[in-house]
Structure 1
């Protein structure tokens, strides 16, 4: 991956839902710019840098990007979806990140899109890739997402209308109602 292909700032997938990497989670300027008050850290060892000051709410999913933990990541989908929904319903930005922003965080973001927007895995993947080309969840995470798609009873051939609605969604960050008091 070339240096120029790495995004300097997190990428907005849906209004208020950002996908990024470790450096994005430590960039206070970008976090403030996008009103990100929630951070979903999908790593076992990266620190929650701003947790102590209470301005940002964290959820950490301690999973490595290794096939042996693929099933463990799927077990965290419900908590991750709830966390992302909470942030967005409060009008706050939420950053989903892992180390590189390519596999674990993408997997969680795909699960959220499948659940919240009733998108097939393929449609969710195409949406994320259209906004962030360097996505590559590992094979075992993709298997978990296929299983999740089946659990959600999503027919991969019937989600075109949902996809159209999602693509036409505004990408403006209308998160001005989010305040630090709502994340306490």
Structure 2
């Protein structure tokens, strides 16, 4: 008996079974495998939920990076009590338009997509000016994007490189020790490494 015949013989021994399959759009169907190996598909009522697990738990962690500088997710930016507890006076929103909670808070929005091809470096000057103004006035700026993982982390890493004379790896590890979930997208990582070379060239290092 050759290999193909053995597979066919083994297949004939399989028991009939039913499996519910859910697509990414949230539609479900029942797939029934008969004893002879054929399949029958039936479509029950479509689900109203997507075909993946949604994490609805808010991320309210505030990572204090430097005096007057902290970062995290947009969930923090929507919690006025939490912002007040951390003495936040300025909010820098990256790619996520902020919800104005209080007229005493200073807001700046920077259009920045979390895509590898997005030009991160071109947005840094605007971000740095806002951060510096907040810190120099004795305030505290909260930098956020959507999840506080890629865009806000990249801007803060760049700030540490430019203002604290850290290289890329030092800035990355400094921030990762404070907020372990950070993970700049691959395009931002390359841009930050190029930015490191630019800084060291300008500073004559």
TM-score by length of 2: 0.67
Question: Please, which of 165, 184, 187 is the counterpart of residue 140 of structure 1?
Answer: 187
Other-structure match for 1:13: 65
- 2:103 corresponds in structure 1 to 54
Equivalents in 2 of 1:109, 1:87: separation in Å?
14
Instruction: Report the 3-state secondary structure (helix = DSSP H, G, I; strand = E; otherwise coil) of the residue aligned with 1:95.
Output: strand
State the alpha-carbon separation in 1 of the partners of residues 61 and 169 from structure 2: 25
Select the structure with the greater relative contact order (CA < 8 A; seq sep ≥ 6).
Answer: 1
Matched, 1:64 2:113: yes
Alpha-carbon offset, residue 6 of structure 1: 7.3
Q: Unaligned regions of 5+ residues in structure 1, if any? A: 159-184
The unaligned stretches of length 5 or more in structure 2 are 1-54
Asked whether the 8 Å contact 1:103–1:135 carries over to 2, the reply is yes
TM-superposed deviation, 1:47: 3.1
TM-score normalised to structure 1 length: 0.74
Larger radius of gyration: 2
| 1:33 matched to 2:85 | yes
Q: How does 1:75-154 map to 2 (within 5 A)?
A: 75-153=122-200
More strand by share: 2
**After the TM superposition, which parts of structure 1 deviate over 6 Å for at least 4 consecutive aligned residues?**
none
Distance, in Å, in 2 between the alignment partners of 1:79 and 1:47 is 16
1:14-62 Cα deviation digits (max 9, x unpaired): 122111111111010111111111111011xx332126x4211112111
Distance in 2 (alpha carbons) for counterparts of 1:68 and 1:147: 14
User: Aligned partners of 1:58 and 1:147: how far apart in 2?
Assistant: 29
Residues 6, 150 of structure 1: CA spacing in aligned structure 2 closer, same or farther, 3 A cutoff? farther
